Each structure stands twice: as C-alpha cells, then as structure tokens.
Amino acid sequence: MHWHILGAGAIGLLWAAKLKQAGHRVTLILHTPEKLAQYVEADGFSLTDGATTERFNPPAQLAAHQTPITHLLITTKSFAVIDAFTAVRSRLVKNARLWLLHNGMGPQQQLTTANPQLEVWAGSTTDGAYFDAPWHLIRAGTGTTQIGRLSNSGNDDLFEALSKVDNQLSLATDMTSVLWRKLAINCAINPLTALYNCRNGELLKYTDRRAAMAQLCKEVDEVAHALGITLFERKLMEQAWDVAELTADNYSSMQQDISHQRPTEIETITGYFCAKADQAHIATPANHLVLEAIRNMSKGNGHD
C-alpha cells in the first residue's frame, strides 16, 4: 500500500516508521514550505525506541502536490483535521481509504457523512511518542490501537493489512462506542488537569478535585445513557479513577497544550460532548463550566 500521512507530528511519524518497517510506501504531506525545507535539511527523521535509534527518510511534499492518493492517514490534532483534509481532497482517488487517528470526536463523523464514496476508518490509540528535538522522535510507550470502519462502504481488508504492521492493533466492530469511551475518559481528566495545572494522579489527591471529576463523570454517564451509548460496565468515575491512578505521573495532552500556550483539543472533547448533551436537552453545567474555563485560558494564550 502507498500511504500518504497528513500531520507529520509525533503520532504521524510513529506510524510512518511502523509502515516503512513493514514494507509499505510512505509519503509525508507537510504543513508549510518552511517545514518541508527543514525536513529536507534534516534528511528525514529518527525514531528512538528503547536503546535503538533508526533513521527514516520517506519522501515529503506539500498538500498542493498533484499525485493521486489511495490511502490517507490523518494524524493532525483534531482541530486541524478538516482543513488538512480539505487541502488534499481533490487528490483522493475514487474509493480512497481515509484513516483518522486523533483524539476527540466530530471530524470523524463529519468526514464520513460528507464523503460517502470514501472508505473511512477511525482509530483510538494509547501509543505514546514525543520529540526531544526537531525530527527526533522518542517512543514513550508501546500502546494498543483500536481501529474500526465508520463508512458503510468497504470491507476489513485494511485492518488485515495494518494488523501485520502493528501486532497491538485490534479491530473494533463498534468504533463509535470506542471513540465515546475515550471521549468520556478525556472529558473526566483532561480539562481538570489543565485547569489545576497538575498531573493526572493529582486529581485524586484533593477533595475538591475529586468532587469536580465526579460531577463531570455523572453528567457524561447520564448523556451516554440517554443516547443509548454503552460506556463501561461500571460508573465512569470508577473507570476514570483507575486511569488517573495508572497514569498518575503523566501530564495530559491538554495540560501540556495549555502550559505550552498551544491550541487545545477541548472543542472536540468537552465541546463535542456538550453539543450532544444540548441537542438531547440534557443540562451539563459542570462540563459547560470547564469548557468555558479552558476556552478562556486558550484566549489568554492567544488562541480562539
């Protein structure tokens, strides 16, 4: 398969490496001419996984390039997905496969509805990667990735091919529920860690933080139940508590985005949840409160 990867950040380059190692063709689609020049200058990127560092040098291009795209993996942050997709849309062949691997919800559903001719897949991953220098990627942990088809068209061939690339990949028959479960955990943990500027585990240490988390979880449970979405066999608070405990020393991506003054994924996490609750006429004051608080912090950081 020839994969074009749109969003050559931590997750995009991690998958570029995995696909190359498994023998697939990979082309990176970079954001700006400056980024492309830096990539050419760096002569590719490196990935350090434990004691091993490997170099990769897949070709890179801009969205305006003319070659057709058969397999497109989008790994931008969720707020950039629609614009990134729009820039390459005309290059997609009929029946192209589109795989969206990002946090949050909204873009996956929007692109599936707007492009019925495409085979659209979504993913949810616990892989971890970050840059310690430009174009030098560190694999922080080997996680699991679930993927599932959102479009009616297509078959499971894509999963069969990708399962040979990553043996921690599994096929979800109900991907929407998988995305909701991840969304629910993110709603419970991410905004609060950003607001309290703390690690995940520090949410559990103080009565007021635990109470805020419990309130968010209660609202998410109520809305999911009303929408007929099965989250977990137990209450979200119990599940989120375990996740916060297991990842106690980690800073959430939203805490990091706020502290580094980058745009956050709040609109596709709590924002998506609140919009669904509003449509169902269910009041979710605690989630609306943290949504507004994170929006205000983002505005303070210069992001609308």
Ligand X SMILES: NC(=O)c1ccc[n+]([C@@H]2O[C@H](COP(=O)([O-])OP(=O)(O)OC[C@H]3O[C@@H](n4cnc5c(N)ncnc54)[C@H](OP(=O)(O)O)[C@@H]3O)[C@@H](O)[C@H]2O)c1
Of 76, 190, 250, 284, the one binding ligand X (CB under 6 A) is 76
**Catalytic hit among 20, 77, 182, 276:** 182
Please report how close the Cβ of residue 158 comes to ligand X at its closest, in angstroms. 19
In the complex with ligand X, which residue's Cβ is closer, 132 or 208? 132
Q: Which of 272, 268, 274, 304 is nearest to 287 (CA)?
A: 274
Is residue 194 near ligand X by the rule CB under 6 A? no
Binding part of the chain for ligand X, among 10-18, 19-27, 148-156, 207-215 by CB under 6 A, reads 10-18
Is residue 290 near ligand X by the rule CB under 6 A? no
Please report how close the Cβ of residue 3 comes to ligand X at its closest, in angstroms. 14
Q: How many CA atoms lie within 13 A of 133 on its CB side?
A: 7
In the complex with ligand X, which residue's Cβ is closer, 10 or 120? 10
Q: Which amino acid is residue 98, in one-letter code?
A: L
Q: Which of residues 106-145 bind ligand X (CB under 6 A)?
A: 125, 127-130
The encoded tokens of residue 25 equal 């063709």
Active site residue 182: yes
Of 4, 5, 8, 149, the one binding ligand X (CB under 6 A) is 8
In the complex with ligand X, which residue's Cβ is closer, 87 or 289? 87
Give whole-number Cα distances, 190 to 26, 43, 203, 233, in Å: 32, 36, 10, 22
Please report how close the Cβ of residue 166 comes to ligand X at its closest, in angstroms. 14
Of 26, 47, 84, 162, the one binding ligand X (CB under 6 A) is 84
Q: Which of residues 34-73 bind ligand X (CB under 6 A)?
A: 35
In the complex with ligand X, which residue's Cβ is closer, 25 or 31? 31
Binding part of the chain for ligand X, among 29-37, 146-154, 172-180, 236-244 by CB under 6 A, reads 29-37
Quick note: the x/- pattern for ligand X over 229-258, rule CB under 6 A, is: ------------------------x-----
Is residue 200 near ligand X by the rule CB under 6 A? no
Contact 206, 198 (CB under 8 A): no
Please report how close the Cβ of residue 78 comes to ligand X at its closest, in angstroms. 5
# residues near ligand X by CB under 6 A: 27
Please report how close the Cβ of residue 85 comes to ligand X at its closest, in angstroms. 9
What residues contact 242, with CB distance under 8 A and at least 6 apart?
none
Of 20, 39, 75, 239, the one binding ligand X (CB under 6 A) is 75
Question: Which residue numbers are catalytic?
Answer: 182
Interface residues with ligand X (CB under 6 A)?
Answer: 6-12, 29, 31, 35, 75-78, 80, 83-84, 87, 102-103, 125, 127-130, 253, 265
